[in-house]
Structure 1
Amino acid sequence: MYKVLVFGITENPGGVESFLLNYYRKIDKTKIQFDFLCNTHNKVAYEDELKILGSHVIHITMRSKNPLKYYKELNEFMKQHATDYQAVWVNVCSLANIDYLKVAKKYGVKKRIIHSHNSQNMDNWMRKVLHMINRYKIQKYATDFWACSEGAARWFYKKNLQSKAVIIKNAIELDKIEFSEQKRSLIRNKYGIDDKFVVGNVGRLHFQKNQMFALEVMKCLVQKMPDCVLVLVGQGEDEKKLKQRARELNIQENIIFTGVQSDIGGYLSAFDLFLFPSVFEGLSIAGLEAQVNGLPVISSYGVIPEKLKLNDNFHFKKLEDGAESWADEIVKQSSHLKRTDRKEIVKRFTEAGFNIDTEVKRLEKLLMERNK
């Protein structure tokens, strides 16, 4: 059995977590087993499913909470178990912490993969400084350099490594996210929005995802379409600020915060349009999942990679155009909304390399590939 120790699962079921689960559900478990190292002693996203799939979930203390305990637990685990693993795969949005690779090298893990999942800093200035310092160190500790997009590779790696970076597509389990009329009815009925025009967003409630701008758009949209609502699926540090801002704009009755949800396909089915105004992205799983569901999408231009657009009803708009202009675009799109045909979705996602059923074989090969 080829065993891989994976870092990247947190308590929040975000994009990285979805990416890892999409692949792990499909991977050949007679050949490859994933175990997951998590820097929290709390239960992480999908932990029950990970265990059912045969994984061990290892919890250690978060570095920011107790650095000494963190280093002690990390070193003790790797000292005892490094020989159990043929590879370590570190999935992160920043190089602020490369300890997992350092310790893996120290205890002899031969294949050490670093995987970039973002294209810009989403942390505080201190972590940004650490990221920039570690860009010069990472080659010493990692053997394989992966990224979700060319932009994510440029953000993570110096020029000499960018040419070596392997792009791993954020492939999707298409059947799990496909449109369901039944789920649409159930969820719209649950929130009492059966007869509303439903704008939706899925993602961490964080400045990167720009839900604050989405509220400004809704303020304008409510004046044009009084029966509209915005459904925000996710949790994050901006939740209180977003709720406060909704009250200040007097649109709290038009905003629904659902918290974390496991059935993303169901919620996407309940939406009429996906609002995607991120200020930066690597290659967003949320944007891909919205298209798998067939949803019309309005996305920030120059931020979301153009390669993300696979369906004809995916539209780009500049953030600098302002909230009023975005609201006008939603009104314009609402007059001829149409979901993309299922057969066309499968065809386009497979051809573009975003169908998990085809991409998982490539990942298996890359994981088990010997380093030269």
Structure 2
Amino acid sequence: MGEPIRVLHVVTYMGRGGLETMIMNYYRHIDRSKVQFDFLTHRDEKWDYDDEIESLGGRIYHLPRLNPFSPKYLKSLDDFFRDHKEYDIVHCHQDCLSGIVLKYAKKNGVPFTIAHSHSSNQNKNFKYLIKLVAKRNITKYADYLFACGKEAGRWMFNTDDFTILNNAIDTESYIYNEEKSLNMRKKLGIENKFVVGHVGRFRKEKNHSFIIDIFKKVSEIKKDALLMLVGDGELLEEMKNKVSSLGLDDKVMFLGSRSDVSDLMQAMDV
């Protein structure tokens, strides 16, 4: 048997975010004797999935932070693809800036390029304006367009000509198990609570502020209600402050980034 096809995934980093976890769900289940994933990241630090990637045979490369206006960054991108001719497929997860990465992939002879849209909800700031301009170039350099849903694809690609790739999970690990549920509730000290749970990065598009507002009303109706928030992110401290301002400190659990999400969900009522 020959060497596997090596697919290069271009990401920011491989922490426990949504798109990163989606890639890992596929990576664990593909036939790695035929297809192998490697990763081109834009951070120097070590992240949650790095050890597992290397244990599965993947390689991790590092570039400076993606800056479309930086000659140094663009040169490093050009140099990388010039030096790595082993990739027949480059799969880019860099949002509206994917066109920049794929331009240099194409320049250096990569046969097949993919741009992948993971969101339709964007923070409207200066970076948003840059994205509006940059996304026009994606279809020039991407041979295939993937999206997690119709809205995400239409927003980033301005066309209906894309493939929806569902964020598949291993459903067996999420089947309700009463014993697991009781054990996790005991471990967390929430045996007699009505548990509302949410798993997601603390970013604007996840709308934690609204979740907390709704839970405030729930807690007024059900005195034993408890909110379990799983995840990390830039808005974490802001949400902790909001919880305190609403007097909900003893009713909200912030559990951070976790590797046991399926077990935590066993402990949730909603």
Q: TM-score range by the shorter chain?
A: over 0.9
**Match status 1:80 vs 2:77:** no
Q: Identify if the C-alpha distance between structure 1 residues 149 and 207 changes in structure 2 by more than 3 Å, giving closer, same or farther.
A: same
**Match status 1:158 vs 2:161:** no
**Match status 1:188 vs 2:189:** no
1:232 match: secondary structure: strand
Aligned to 1:43: 46
Aligned to 2:27: 24
Aligned to 1:131: 131
- After superposition, give the CA deviation of every residue in 1:158-205 in whole Å (9 maximum; x if it has no partner): 23xx2x211112111112333333332332222211111100000011
The letter of the residue matching 1:118 is: S
In the alignment, which of 249, 260, 264 is matched to residue 263 of structure 1?
260
For 1:74 and 1:180, locate their aligned partners in 2 and report how far apart those are by CA, in whole Å.
48
Aligned to 2:143: 143
Contact kept, 8 Å, 1:11 with 1:42, in 2: the verdict is no
Q: Identify if the C-alpha distance between structure 1 residues 178 and 69 changes in structure 2 by more than 3 Å, giving closer, same or farther.
A: farther
Contact kept, 8 Å, 2:14 with 2:50, in 1: the verdict is no
Contact kept, 8 Å, 2:96 with 2:134, in 1: the verdict is yes
For 1:178 and 1:46, locate their aligned partners in 2 and report how far apart those are by CA, in whole Å.
24
- After superposition, give the CA deviation of every residue in 1:333-366 in whole Å (9 maximum; x if it has no partner): xxxxxxxxxxxxxxxxxxxxxxxxxxxxxxxxxx
For 1:58 and 1:135, locate their aligned partners in 2 and report how far apart those are by CA, in whole Å.
25
The letter of the residue matching 2:16 is: P
Q: Following TM superposition, by how much is the alpha carbon of 1:9 offset from its aligned partner in structure 2, in angstroms?
A: 5.6
Contact kept, 8 Å, 1:96 with 1:128, in 2: the verdict is no
For 1:148 and 1:68, locate their aligned partners in 2 and report how far apart those are by CA, in whole Å.
32
Contact kept, 8 Å, 1:5 with 1:35, in 2: the verdict is yes
The letter of the residue matching 1:158 is: N
Contact kept, 8 Å, 2:12 with 2:43, in 1: the verdict is no
Q: Following TM superposition, by how much is the alpha carbon of 1:219 offset from its aligned partner in structure 2, in angstroms?
A: 1.8
The letter of the residue matching 2:92 is: V
Aligned to 1:13: 16
Contact kept, 8 Å, 2:6 with 2:35, in 1: the verdict is yes
For 1:108 and 1:140, locate their aligned partners in 2 and report how far apart those are by CA, in whole Å.
15
Unaligned runs of 5+ in 1: 274-372
Normalising to structure 1: TM-score of the pair?
0.68
For 1:258 and 1:144, locate their aligned partners in 2 and report how far apart those are by CA, in whole Å.
38
**Match status 1:3 vs 2:26:** no
Aligned to 1:298: none
C-alpha root-mean-square deviation of aligned residues, in Å?
Answer: 1.9
Q: Following TM superposition, by how much is the alpha carbon of 1:270 offset from its aligned partner in structure 2, in angstroms?
A: 0.8
Aligned to 2:93: 91
For 2:269 and 2:96, locate their aligned partners in 1 and report how far apart those are by CA, in whole Å.
37
The letter of the residue matching 2:240 is: K
Q: Following TM superposition, by how much is the alpha carbon of 1:130 offset from its aligned partner in structure 2, in angstroms?
A: 2.2
Q: Percent identity?
A: 34
Normalising to structure 2: TM-score of the pair?
0.92
Q: Following TM superposition, by how much is the alpha carbon of 1:11 offset from its aligned partner in structure 2, in angstroms?
A: 4.8
- After superposition, give the CA deviation of every residue in 1:262-312 in whole Å (9 maximum; x if it has no partner): 111101101000xxxxxxxxxxxxxxxxxxxxxxxxxxxxxxxxxxxxxxx
Contact kept, 8 Å, 2:193 with 2:225, in 1: the verdict is yes
Aligned to 2:118: 117
For 2:74 and 2:237, locate their aligned partners in 1 and report how far apart those are by CA, in whole Å.
33
The letter of the residue matching 1:156 is: M
Contact kept, 8 Å, 2:119 with 2:152, in 1: the verdict is yes
For 1:9 and 1:250, locate their aligned partners in 2 and report how far apart those are by CA, in whole Å.
36
Aligned to 1:198: 195
Aligned to 1:283: none
In the alignment, which of 51, 55, 65 is matched to residue 52 of structure 1?
55
Contact kept, 8 Å, 2:81 with 2:108, in 1: the verdict is yes
Contact kept, 8 Å, 2:229 with 2:255, in 1: the verdict is yes
